[in-house]
Structures are given as structure tokens and as C-alpha cells.
């Protein structure tokens, strides 16, 4: 077999504030020879996610930082091109935490097979993957929605947020979304069945939320942080639960994140705020994925994806996450499966 | 029976910021004639508590505000002087939520008998009362301390804080207190068995805490809020639990409570913050009190009280809470039991 030329994207420079294309470098390398137990995987879909911004800093958050001049890694759906591992054959579709590259060499033990008959394979990075589980466990385990309660979710038109509102509806709760354009809020209400949605870029957010939540807020699923969250938190009820999932409005902040301290509000309402990361639920992941797949099959969950084409456009698609360019899961399509 | 002259303390004016004696007025009234089912109770010990400051504002927190020109109310241990209720006889010691007055007329259904043989009757307002239950349920239900974990408590020399550290020790955890004088921190370590205590008025609090908590903070029981809490929260571990009990540093604040938003810190540590009020545990209260009484009897829990004498000194003792004048439970002694 001849040497396969590979392309990879490295972290060229740590960003201060909002990253630019300069923080990434493209390199060409040769794919190394496979060892026993390894697979050569051809990238089909690659996921860019907001949490990756934290890994570009030189400071541990809940995952270690990316190393400088090393490949950026994340969720990838690919196809096995060559296998030196039992149980895998060329053509298999797999999910893994791989580098931003056309090809990855991966230990078979670190990948998961994707069943292409269950749903489109890209959903392994979205509704049937990490974002799906994040919505499922954050809302159900921490939020514990009850019938008739009001669930507010920020970043509602994102990969996680759009699922949170729909799961809330399945549980008999009222779903209210916060998003950044009229197009998005129309999508949430008209296509996904949210009871209400508000555009935080228009008018007085607190007033809009007050109207959308006449009985106050029982659960706030927070994807964004900052002043949007300040407004929601001013409307919580006694016993409100607040799953903290993300802080996308702050990931590129260059100064300290200063604002009203939330503790008094939590105290006088006996409210609960809990940070989490999906890996806390690794042991229960199969159960959550099966339930999400079932809901998807029954048409109780809908989803959308924003698909950018081409390896060269990965950094651009990643940067777009912080400008609200995506609706639903942001993916980069690199190739179609070979068969 | 001749008319009994009573003295009462009313809320004369709502305070802006730190209250002064001007916010209180003393009035003399006649004790009304008892109705069936009522008791006339002679005040022996009266409790002043930080949460009362919130009730002086014209804004509901977790309890309704005091009404203007009405009596201020709170925990009182008194003695039945006259009874028109079955099951109560003169001489009985009772606990109730009464007015700041020499005498209160109370519905028998609203009071609880105190057993004077179990412990000194004043403990019904402290270690075997509301502060005891607050420490017990806040630490055990929300904090869930495990052997070897580090529990930090602010307001550690107060009525609740001193119990939190001792219960933490009973559960095999390491107890670290934060208080406002060297006398208090010596008391915590030498008399109550805290593993360490730091004086937040001296030097760099974060650095002191870092030395006192070499393995970080697993539970932070927060009685004070503000910059003291900012320092503790910067040292939390993965999975830290934070029972929010009080915000004494802020109760007299005239501007908004602005500071570093805590959500990122909770998020990256999968930490939990939960506000609570002791009345959330009303149904389990007996169980908690029995356990506290048992520990007290076994010498596993110690306590101290700051006892101010005389009805005229109630406002002064109340105001002293906000200047750290008390160690342990602040009480006002009005009279000795008659027999």
C-alpha cells in the first residue's frame, strides 16, 4: 500500500479573547503504518463544540487544555479504511474522539461503532451523541422537570438547547427558549413545539421572559451565562433547579466575569444550581441514548444540523459558534461514506 | 386578677443599611384577657437572629417582612403564667415564635413544650433549636460530608457555624472555620476541635485558606457571602457541595451585591450550590433534634452562648450580630424561671 497523505489542523497559538484563523495551522503529514489493534479511520463528519474554546487556553477547566502545535481533537464520525483489530472491517462507521484530520489512526478500543440503519450517521455527533446526552441528563437528572413546570433554556437553538426544550415538553413541562434571532425563535416555536421563545437581542429580555413565563421559572438550563442568565435568575421560583451546562457568552471574555452575585437569589428561593459535564453520566450513557433513539423514532424529538462542507472550513465553522451562526448541531462534512 | 403591664418592641422605621436604635420603639401596653385555648407566657430567653434583618425590609425574602409599627417577632423561651388550654399548666416551659415583649398571649397549638431536664432551657433557641437544625440538615442533607473530606464553614463562631464544624468532625471530615477575631479562631480550634480556623480580617484570606485546606474544599457551608465566600469558592474541588445558609456580610448592604459570577467555577467543577431554610426540614425536625440531643449528652457537641441581660438591650444585642460581637448563640435573658 502506498503512503497516504494526511492533512491535520494544529493549535498554532493560544487565543486571547475571540480566536481567529491565525490560531490554527494546517499541516500535511503521512499516515503512519498501522499497528496491531489499530484502525485507519477516514473522517466523514467532524464536530465543533463550544467547550473546545476552553481547551485552547493554557488552563485546566474540566478537560485538559490542547497542547500547542498539536492536533486539535474532538468528536468525529468516520469510516474504517483499514483494520488491524478484531471486530472491525473496512466500511464500518465509527465514532471517536479524534484529531481534526482527514485520517486518524485510532486504537480500536477507543472507538464506538455507529449503526447506520438506526439514524443518519451524523446524529452520533448530535441528538444521539454528546449533545443529546448532555440535554438528557442535565435536564432529567439535575432539572427533574415535573408536569406543568416552566423550563427556560438559553442557547435554545443550539445542539443541546433545542433538545432540552423538546424533552421538557415530553415530560409535560412548558418550554421557553432564549435565542439570538427571530428566525431561530420562530424555528423553536413553529418547528420544535416550544411554548414560547424570546430573542435576547431585541428589547428588554427580563420583561419578555416575564411575559413568556407567567408562573415564573422552575428550571433554568443554562448554556450561555452572563447577562442573559442574570435576567432569567431574577425570575426563579421557590425550589428552582439550575443545571449549568455552558457559558458560551463568556468563553472569549478577556476581563473577569463580574455581575450580580447569585447566592442571595438562590438562598431566598431554596434553589439549586449544579454544574455538570456529560462524562459524569458515562456509566448511564447507553440508557440515555436508547431513550433518545426511541423518541427520535417516534417523532417526539426533531432536530436540525448546520453542515459546513470541506476540511478547510473547520476553523471558520468553529468560530461561527460564538457568533450564533449555527442552528442546531454544527458539523463539518468532509466526505460521504464509501459504500 | 389585676391587669398586667406589658412592654413590647415595635419596628418603628424600616432601616436603610445598618439599623440603629431609632428603628425600634418601646411601648407599654396592657396584656389582653386570655381566651379559651390560649396561654399567657412570660418571656425568659429571647433570640435575636441575623435573618431578622431581612424581615425589616419591605420586601419578601423567604419569610414575609415585619409590619411597620407592629411587634418584632422571633424565637422565645418562656414560662406559662396562666393557661386556658388543656395540657398546659402554669410553670411549663415553652418555645414559640413570639413578639419581643415581656409577655405574650399565644395559642397553645402554636407553642412547643421544652423539657428542662434534657438540657438548659436556653438551648431550645440554639443547639437544640433552629440553629441546631439549620446546621444539621444544611450540612448533612445538602453537604453530605464523607470521611476525610474538607468542610469549610464561614461565620464559624456563630450559632450555626460552630455546630457545622463539630458535626463535620463527627462524620469524620476535616473542619476548617472562618471567623473575625483571633479569640474566635482559638476558641474553634482549642475548645471545639476544629482542625484549623482562619481570621478573615487578617492578611490574605485565600492564602490562609489554601494553607488550611491542602486538599482543597469539598463542602463550603456559607453563612456570610461576599468576598469571604469568593475566596473559598476559588478553592473548591470537583464535586464540591455548597449549602447556602446565610449572607450576613450583605444584609445591611445599600448597593447591589456585585462580584465575580460563580457559575463558571461551579460548572468546571461539577459543583452543587443549594439555598435552604430550616423550615424546608420541618417534617424531619424531631429526628434532627433527637440526634443533636444525643450528641450533646455524649459530649460530642459543645456550644457557647453570648447572653445579654435585660429587655432594654434587645436592639443592641441584635445590632451586635452584624459586628461580630457574639460568639455562639446570641440570647437576651429577660427573667429566670419562677420555679
CATH number at residue A247: 3.40.50.720
Residue numbers of A between 203 and 242 with CB closer than 8 Å to B:
222, 225-226, 229, 238
Give the residues across from B6 on adjacent strands: B29
Q: What is the CATH number of the domain that holds B319?
A: 3.90.180.10
Whether B110 and B164 share a structural domain: no
Q: Which residue from A minimizes the CA distance to B237?
A: A62
Please report whether residue B338 resides in a domain: no
Contact call for residues A271 and B272 (beta carbons, < 8 A): no
pLDDT by position in tens, chain A (length 339): 567 899 999 999 999 999 999 999 999 999 999 999 999 999 999 999 999 999 999 987 778 899 999 999 999 999 999 999 999 999 999 999 999 999 999 999 999 999 999 999 999 999 999 999 999 999 999 999 999 999 999 999 999 999 999 999 999 999 999 999 999 999 999 999 999 999 999 999 999 999 999 999 999 999 999 999 999 999 999 999 999 999 998 888 888 899 999 999 999 999 999 999 999 999 999 999 999 999 999 999 999 999 999 999 999 999 999 999 999 999 999 999 996
Report yes or no on A339 lying in a domain.
no
Are B144 and B120 found together in one domain? Answer: no
Rounded distance between C-alpha atoms, residue B276 and residue B142, angstroms? 9
Do the domain assignments include residue A57?
Answer: yes
**Which chain A residues have a beta carbon less than 8 Å from that of B247?**
263-264, 267
Q: What is the nearest CA distance from B30 to chain A, expressed in angstroms?
A: 37
Total domains, chain B: 2
Distance CA(B240)–CA(B11), nearest Å, equals 40
Return the residue matching grid coordinates 455548597: B242
Within 8 A of A269 by CB-CB distance, chain B residues are: 62, 275
**A193 occurs within a structural domain:** yes
In a domain, A214, yes or no: yes
Inter-chain CB proximity B275 and A272 less than 8 Å: yes
Of A260, A268, A274, Cβ closest to residue B62: A268
ipTM for the predicted complex: 0.93
Nearest C-alpha of chain B: how many angstroms from A67? 19
Q: Is the minimum CB–CB distance between B282 and chain A shorter than 8 Å?
A: no
The upper half-sphere exposure of residue B295, i.e. CA atoms within 13 Å in the direction of its Cβ, equals 21
pLDDT in tens, B281-327: 999 999 999 999 999 999 999 999 999 999 999 999 999 999 999 99
For residue B185, the distance in angstroms to the closest alpha carbon of chain A comes to: 26
Does residue A319 lie in a domain region? yes
Between CA A152 and CA A172 the distance in angstroms is 14
> Are residues B205 and B225 part of one domain?
yes
Residues A54 and A100 in one domain: yes
pLDDT band at B2 (very low <50, low <70, confident <90, very high): low
Listed in sequence order, the residues at least 6 apart from B299 whose beta carbon sits closer than 8 Å to its beta carbon are none
Are residue B137 and residue B233 in the same domain, yes or no? Answer: yes
Q: Evaluate whether residue B339 is within a structural domain.
A: no
Same domain for B139 and B272, yes or no, is yes
Q: Do A256 and B260 touch (CB under 8 A)?
A: yes
- In this prediction, residue A1 carries a pLDDT of 53
- Compute the CA torsion angle A222, A228, A231, A236 (nearest 10 deg): -10
B260 contacts in A (CB within 8 Å)? 256-258
Query: Which residues of B are less than 8 Å from A225 in CB distance?
Result: 261, 263-264
What is residue A254's predicted lDDT score, i.e. its pLDDT? Answer: 84
Distance from CA of B54 to the nearest CA of A (A): 10
Cβ contacts of B329 within 8 Å, gap of 6 or more = B47, B122, B125, B126, B127, B131, B159, B303, B304, B305, B306
B57 touches chain A (CB under 8 A): no
* B138 shares its domain with B120: no
Which tens digits make up the pLDDT trace of B47-106?
Answer: 999 999 999 999 877 788 999 999 999 999 999 999 999 999 999 999 999 999 999 999
Tell me the shortest Cα–Cα distance from B334 to chain A, in angstroms. 32
Domain holding B146, by residue range, is: 130-281+289-295
Q: Is residue A246 domain-shared with residue A170, that is, in the same domain?
A: yes
Same domain, B43 and B142: no
Cell of A254: 478577556
Q: Which of A247, A268, A272 sits opposite B61 (nearest CB)?
A: A268
The residue ranges of DSSP E strands in chain A, in sequence order, are 5-11, 24-30, 38-47, 73-83, 93-99, 103-107, 112-113, 150-154, 174-179, 196-199, 217-221, 236-244, 258-260, 272-275, 305-309, 329-333
Is the CB of A172 inside 8 Å of chain B's CB atoms? no
Say yes or no: B328 and B255 in one domain: no
Sign of CA dihedral B298, B299, B301, B302: positive
Task: Indicate whether B116 and B204 sit together in one domain.
Answer: no
Convert the pLDDT of each residue in B215-256 to its tens digit. 999 999 999 999 999 999 999 999 999 999 999 988 888 888
Mutate to test the interface with A, among B244, B271, B281 (most CBs of A within 10 A): B244
Total residues belonging to chain A = 339
Examine residue A137 and state whether it is found in any structural domain, yes or no: yes
**Pair B195, B107 in one domain:** no
Amino acid at each position: 500500500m502506498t503512503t497516504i497523505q494526511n492533512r491535520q489542523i494544529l493549535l498554532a497559538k493560544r487565543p486571547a479573547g475571540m480566536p481567529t484563523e491565525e490560531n490554527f495551522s494546517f499541516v500535511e503529514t503521512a499516515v503512519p503504518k498501522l499497528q496491531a489493534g489499530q484502525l485507519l479511520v477516514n473522517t466523514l463528519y467532524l464536530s465543533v463544540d463550544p467547550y473546545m474554546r476552553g481547551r485552547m487556553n493554557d488552563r485546566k477547566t474540566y478537560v485538559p487544555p490542547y497542547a500547542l502545535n498539536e492536533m486539535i481533537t474532538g468528536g468525529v464520525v468516520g469510516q474504517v479504511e483499514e483494520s488491524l483489530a478484531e471486530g472491525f472491517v473496512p466500511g464500518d462507521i465509527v465514532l471517536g474522539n479524534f484529531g481534526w484530520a482527514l485520517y486518524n489512526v485510532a486504537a480500536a478500543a477507543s472507538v464506538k461503532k455507529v449503526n447506520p440503519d438506526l439514524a443518519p450517521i451524523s446524529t452520533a455527533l448530535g441528538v444521539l451523541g454528546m449533545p443529546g446526552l448532555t440535554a438528557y441528563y442535565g435536564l432529567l437528572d439535575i432539572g427533574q422537570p415535573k408536569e406543568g413546570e416552566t423550563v427556560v433554556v438559553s442557547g435554545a437553538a443550539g445542539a443541546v438547547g433545542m433538545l432540552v426544550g423538546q424533552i421538557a415538553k415530553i415530560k409535560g413541562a412548558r418550554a421557553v427558549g432564549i435565542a439570538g434571532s427571530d428566525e431561530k425563535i420562530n424555528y423553536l416555536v413553529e418547528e420544535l413545539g416550544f411554548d414560547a421563545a424570546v430573542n435576547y437581542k431585541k428589547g428588554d429580555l427580563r420583561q419578555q421572559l416575564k411575559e413568556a413565563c407567567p408562573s415564573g421559572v422552575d428550571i433554568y438550563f443554562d448554556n450561555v451565562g452572563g447577562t442573559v442568565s442574570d435576567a432569567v435568575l431574577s425570575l426563579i421560583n421557590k425550589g428552582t433547579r439550575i443545571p449549568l451546562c455552558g457559558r458560551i457568552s463568556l468563553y472569549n471574555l478577556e476581563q473577569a466575569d463580574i455581575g450580580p452575585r447569585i447566592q442571595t437569589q438562590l438562598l431566598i428561593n431554596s434553589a439549586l444550581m449544579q454544574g455538570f459535564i456529560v462524562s459524569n453520566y458515562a456509566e448511564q450513557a447507553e440508557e440515555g441514548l436508547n431513550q433518545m433513539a426511541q423518541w427520535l423514532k417516534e417523532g417526539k424529538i426533531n432536530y436540525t444540523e448546520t453542515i459546513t462542507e470541506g476540511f478547510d472550513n473547520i476553523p471558520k465553522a468553529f468560530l461561527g459558534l460564538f457568533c450564533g451562526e449555527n442552528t442546531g448541531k454544527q458539523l463539518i462534512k468532509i466526505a460521504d461514506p464509501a459504500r
